[in-house]
Amino acid sequence: MALKGTRPVAVPSPEEFWNSFVKPRIVRALGVSHRDKPDLVMQARQTIDAELAAMHRAMCSLRARRNTLIPIFGLPPEILARIFEFCVAAWPPTSWVDIGWIRVTHVCSIWRNVALHHPSLWSDITDRLGLDWVNDMTARSKAVPISYRQYGIDPMEQFSKIMIPHQLHRLRHLSISGFRDDSASILQLLTSPAPILEHLTLRGDSEIDRIYVLSPTAFKGHAPMLRRLTLSNVRIPWYSPILSGLTNLHVNLSDSTIYESPPDFDPSVDNADITARFNQFFDALRAMPTLETLYLENCLPIKPARGADARIVSLPHLESLHFLSKSGQMQDILSRLDIPPSCRLSFHYDGRYRLLHGDSVDDFLPFLVPQTRCIAENSPLLTFSVNLEKHQAVFKFWRTCQISANDIVVSRPRTSPDITITFLHWMFCIEPVQPLCAALPVESLRVLVFRGGGRTDDVTSRAWIDAFGWCQAVEHAVITGGGVGGFSRALATPMDPEKASRKRDDGTSFLTLDELFLPSLRLLELERVDFHALVYPEEEDGANSDDRNWPDGVEFFSTLKDHLRTRSAGGGLRLTLAIRKCSIDRRQIEALKALARVTWDGLTVIPG
């Protein structure tokens, strides 16, 4: 605005002003070309570069001033820092290319200054960003507690040897993975007290057949806040003081090493080391009264011939128990544990080091039966899954399934199982199911899932009835792959063969509802079944089920129709058939609709 009594002064446009302002600054460089002497060209370039740098700083200052006029910049630094904390949790850095939340510091100088003045934002340090970032984040975190995750060894090993010993006093979470024979010295760095360490993870290189040892003097025995300990291919003596007070213990040793017992171990031989190790294991558990998760693979101690501590260890807060054993000594451990009935259980046996039979379930039944029966009334078993694929037998139980408002099963559970029993390296066999179902409270089961890895007729109808005849309340069955031929026949086979024989003698051989296998069955899902496969008479009928050239073999589709018809005549509920990923044609689908409600995914899969 012009002053009173003066003539208005014309204000040049920004472009006119800066053009006229800059030209006098570079007047000496304007007359220089690339054909002039090199010294003159270099001097002109330096002059222009200096002006550009100054202009860049001026532009940054203008941008910063402009940003202060945006509403978000009215947020107090404390609120902005809190927002950054959410960014840290939701957008962690994964590599030097993807630096995650750190990109917010590149938005403007104000955001960068806020981040730099809040050390807690830089407390989660990982080597995936590279050595320079590790150095910067360590410095920016100042004195706040930090987490350090190291996934590689080279070139971080030398840095770790400097960083870890000096930062142990403020480490809250330490994770180091990938030990090798020449880098195990990293374990020797854990020599100072770790007063605030809460979570320790150490993972040896899984490709190397070696077990490393964490010294019992690690942290000088002083890690009072340690609650979660995860070790992979790293063994810790059971008398180590840092085990005291843990809430989560995870120890996994390589399956190529036998720490539990050497191949020539003789349990009848008095061995002081075996006795000490066994008793130290239970002493360690007693020092963890608030333990919530116990995960042990290939590290269970062997019960000695004499001198074993027989006292019971109570773990009232245990939520998850997982054992993998090669030695068959699991029962010796389980018999000394007192845990809540609600605890999630997982038992795995490795058949390469022990001959497995149908009675192998006896190792854990004395422990499992009271665990399940004591809460059967309030929280019964509702779902049972059997998987006999890939040379293993996996049995899973759930205390839940998807049930509609009118108390009809809708679908299988989507959660982790409450009980898992696995036999690794097990040939296709249904034998263990019978003692399991005979001992456990399976009368309440509503869903049955069976995945077989053999031929359609690999499991006989009598084997189905003997194994699952106790499951009278099952409404929803899922059968996949091998064994479906025997299951189909079981649907039309009387449960009591002696009673059926007497009825045949009397001339009344028809089925009644109380004789049906799975009498409450409503929904049958068939997956990966070849409806064109031939099914042969079973061995009890005088046939050899392994002879594929048996002249009386008929298509599974035809036998299924006959069995559905027989079951319906015996008073069985009209089934709903859900056919998924099967080898079947539309003609067969239409024929089945006369006997059941059929849903089909429309796929015709060629069996492989």
Q: How far apart are CA 308 and CA 186, in angstroms?
A: 36
Residues 515-537, mean pLDDT to the nearest whole number: 89
141 pLDDT tier (thresholds 50, 70, 90): very high
Long-range Cβ contacts of 155-160 (<8 Å, 24+ apart): 155/131, 156/127, 156/131, 157/183, 157/186, 159/131, 159/134, 159/135, 160/186, 160/189
Q: How far apart are CA 350 and CA 354, in angstroms?
A: 7
Q: Is the pLDDT score of 329 beyond 80?
A: no
Structure confidence at residue 15 (pLDDT): 75
Q: How far apart are CA 324 and CA 255, in angstroms?
A: 10
Tokens representing 354 are: 């022990």
Q: Is the pLDDT score of 325 beyond 70?
A: yes
Q: Is the pLDDT score of 377 beyond 90?
A: no
Most confident of 52-66, 231-245, 346-360, 433-447: 231-245
Percent of the chain at pLDDT above 70? 82
CB contact at 8 A, 527 and 472: no
Structure confidence at residue 502 (pLDDT): 63
DSSP letter assigned to residue 10: P
Residue by residue, DSSP assigns 125-171 as EEGGG-HHHHHHHHHHTTTS-EEEEE---TTHHHHHHHHHHHHGGGE
Residues 163-168, mean pLDDT to the nearest whole number: 84
Structure confidence at residue 258 (pLDDT): 46
Tokens representing 155 are: 């070139």
Residues 226-253, mean pLDDT to the nearest whole number: 95
Most confident of 357-361, 457-461, 579-583: 579-583
Residues 60-79, mean pLDDT to the nearest whole number: 79
292 pLDDT tier (thresholds 50, 70, 90): very high
Q: How far apart are CA 88 and CA 564, in angstroms?
A: 59
Structure confidence at residue 269 (pLDDT): 46
Residues 424-436, mean pLDDT to the nearest whole number: 73
Q: How far apart are CA 93 and CA 99, in angstroms?
A: 4
Q: Is the pLDDT score of 562 beyond 80?
A: yes
Q: How far apart are CA 524 and CA 540, in angstroms?
A: 26
Give the H or E element holding residue 392.
strand 392-398
Structure confidence at residue 561 (pLDDT): 93
Structure confidence at residue 146 (pLDDT): 94
Q: How far is CA 387 from the centre of its chain?
A: 18
44 pLDDT tier (thresholds 50, 70, 90): confident
Structure confidence at residue 605 (pLDDT): 65
Residues 521-534, mean pLDDT to the nearest whole number: 91
Q: Is the pLDDT score of 327 beyond 70?
A: no
Residues 587-605, mean pLDDT to the nearest whole number: 89
Tokens representing 152 are: 């590689």
588 pLDDT tier (thresholds 50, 70, 90): very high
Q: Is the pLDDT score of 347 beyond 80?
A: yes
226 pLDDT tier (thresholds 50, 70, 90): very high
CB contact at 8 A, 490 and 464: yes
Residues 195-221, mean pLDDT to the nearest whole number: 87
Evaluate the CA torsion angle 36, 42, 47, 52 in order and state its sign: positive
* Poorest-pLDDT segment among 73-77, 514-518, 593-597: 73-77
Bridge partners (DSSP) of residue 148 are 125, 174
Q: What is the dihedral of CA 236, 239, 242, 244, to 10 degrees?
A: 130
Most confident of 143-157, 220-234, 428-442: 220-234
Evaluate the CA torsion angle 40, 44, 47, 53 in order and state its sign: negative
Q: How far apart are CA 521 and CA 536, in angstroms?
A: 25
Compare 606 and 579 and report the one with higher pLDDT.
579
Compare 507 and 186 and report the one with higher pLDDT.
186
370 pLDDT tier (thresholds 50, 70, 90): confident
452 pLDDT tier (thresholds 50, 70, 90): confident
296 pLDDT tier (thresholds 50, 70, 90): very high
Structure confidence at residue 266 (pLDDT): 45
Structure confidence at residue 384 (pLDDT): 93
Residues 574-591, mean pLDDT to the nearest whole number: 92
Compare 506 and 412 and report the one with higher pLDDT.
412
Q: Is the pLDDT score of 175 beyond 60?
A: yes
Residues 385-405, mean pLDDT to the nearest whole number: 81
Residues 288-314, mean pLDDT to the nearest whole number: 90
CA distances for 345 relative to 5, 24, 112, 213, 397, angstroms: 95, 83, 49, 28, 10
Structure confidence at residue 413 (pLDDT): 77
8 pLDDT tier (thresholds 50, 70, 90): low
Q: Is the pLDDT score of 222 beyond 70?
A: yes
* Poorest-pLDDT segment among 176-185, 226-235, 435-444, 543-552: 543-552
Structure confidence at residue 552 (pLDDT): 66
